[in-house]
Structure 1
Amino acid sequence: MMALTVGVLALQGGFVEHLNLLRKAASAVFSQSKSDTSFEAIEVRTAEELARCDALIIPGGESTTISFVAQQSGLLEPLRDFVKVQKKPVWGTCAGLILLSNQANATKKGGQELIGGLNVRVHRNHFGRQIESFEAPLQLPFLADEADPSPFPGVFIRAPVVEEILSKGESEQGPKVEVMAKLPGRINRMKSGVSQAVTKDDSGDIIAVRQGSILGTSFHPELTDDARIHAWWLKQVLRV
């Protein structure tokens, strides 16, 4: 019997919500595939817990806090090794996307330590302050083959975007960065105190990217009850 252990970095942010959706998705994925794989989802706070994992989710939250706690607890270098040396599957949402990027703009004074691995530059808090958070129905091409074709409920809270895919140096090799989804150009309209994203044109911000075993999304799937992206990601992990 194959064993699969997926960790969720539990230093700060929405790790509990990710764990709940991950378990929901795993139940569906393994029942459909009739796989004999045993599955476990665990909270990760130490290098020892990280070493148990075959794949990892880095949740949304405050990227500077997650980075600081990881550094102070001796977990930052093991995370870099997990992502960039062992090249195990990793998915970062919002703050997780920032941490997995090789460069980040709009950081606090002195910058912040990043895990890296995604050859992109992100812009933190691209859409503004917390009060300017919004929801938008997302058409995600990588979910096109899923049974439910409806738009995915995208939750954007002080979200970053990928502002540039970086060029590689001559000595660098490896997979290219794939743009997995964009958010169409939008204007904000306030309705009952909630900012609603309204499509304005066909241009758009990059909100999901993949490079090899690393996936990054700007939005928060864990703040919905929709487990489709978690299920899709688990299927990718099983194929590695």
Structure 2
Amino acid sequence: MAVGVLALQGDFREHAAVLHQLGAAPVEVRLPRQLAGVSHLIIPGGESTTIGRLLDRYGMLEPIRARAGRDLAIWGTCAGAILLARQVLDVKKGGQPTLAVMDITVRRNAYGSQLDSFETLLPIPLLGEPPLRGVFIRAPQIETVGKGVEVLARLEEGAIVAARQGRLLVTTFHPELAADDRVHRYFLEL
């Protein structure tokens, strides 16, 4: 199984490091031909507008959409969650390209600016104990989920921060920064 990490912008190196620790050989994906050989793709955190525009510029939107959730499991972290969402709230004028393949609505920068970034312990029942350290950096929030979407984790006040729809997974936080590989292992099993 080849695992791709979208390497256009953002924290793709951190995801690749976790995958190496798990014994996987990650493939840095920048062009459609590099996508062809992967069964799993991680879309990392970063700046969602920039990543979306680069996906468009390099002709990656349609090849990813065509395989999303079928023969390609996809996990979007933070900005990646925004890119997978069918609807994105608080988009600046001019918008941003998205993949729009997962039946969720996401609010960009839901907790405020970079200064409002935070960490918290997240109980994620399917991962067992202990709670995962959730690292939220200018994080989005999942506002609504469609019928086929399973909520995997919430903040204490109820905000949705992780969800799954078939072979599509999103986390609005950064598991790759938490020194805990359980979400990566879970994704590799999709």
Tell me, yes or no, if structure 1 residue 12 matches structure 2 residue 9: yes
Q: What is the RMSD of the two structures over their aligned residues, measured on CA atoms?
A: 1.3
Q: Which residue of 2 aligns with 1:33?
A: none
Residues of 1 paired with 2:137 and 2:5: CA distance? 20
The one of 106, 112, 128 aligned to 1:128: 112
The one of 149, 152, 170 aligned to 1:180: 152
Structure 1 residues 166 and 110: alpha-carbon distance in aligned structure 2, compared to 1, 3 A threshold: farther
Query: Is the contact between residue 39 and residue 71 of structure 2 (CA under 8 Å) also seen in structure 1?
Result: no
Per-residue CA shift, 1:56-98, capped at 9, x if unaligned?
A: 00000000000001111111111211215x4421110000000
Structure 1 residues 52 and 87: alpha-carbon distance in aligned structure 2, compared to 1, 3 A threshold: closer
Q: Which residue of 2 aligns with 1:151?
A: 131
Q: Which residue of 1 aligns with 2:58?
A: 73
| Structure 2: gaps of 5 or more residues | none
Residues of 1 paired with 2:71 and 2:25: CA distance? 20
Displacement after TM superposition at 1:166 (Å)? 3.8
Q: Which residue of 2 aligns with 1:115?
A: 99
Q: Which residue of 2 aligns with 1:32?
A: none
TM-score (norm 2): 0.96
Q: Which residue of 2 aligns with 1:233?
A: 187
Residues of 1 paired with 2:142 and 2:155: CA distance? 11
User: Which residue identity does 1:127 align to in structure 2?
Assistant: Y
The list of structure 1 runs, each at least 4 consecutive aligned residues, that deviate by more than 4 angstroms after superposition, is none
Structure with greater strand percent: 1
Displacement after TM superposition at 1:224 (Å)? 2.2
The one of 54, 71, 79 aligned to 2:39: 54
SS in 1 for 2:17: helix
Per-residue CA shift, 1:152-200, capped at 9, x if unaligned?
A: 1100011111101246xxxxxxxx1101110112xxxxxxxxxxxxxxx
User: Which residue identity does 2:113 align to in structure 1?
Assistant: R
Tell me, yes or no, if structure 1 residue 221 matches structure 2 residue 179: no
Q: Which residue of 2 aligns with 1:195?
A: none
Identity rate, percent: 47
| Structure 1: gaps of 5 or more residues | 28-38, 168-175, 186-203
Query: Is the contact between residue 4 and residue 41 of structure 2 (CA under 8 Å) also seen in structure 1?
Result: yes
Structure with max Cα Rg: 1
Tell me, yes or no, if structure 1 residue 211 matches structure 2 residue 159: no
User: Which residue identity does 1:225 align to in structure 2?
Assistant: A
Displacement after TM superposition at 1:40 (Å)? 2.6
Q: Which residue of 2 aligns with 1:170?
A: none
Q: Which residue of 2 aligns with 1:91?
A: 75
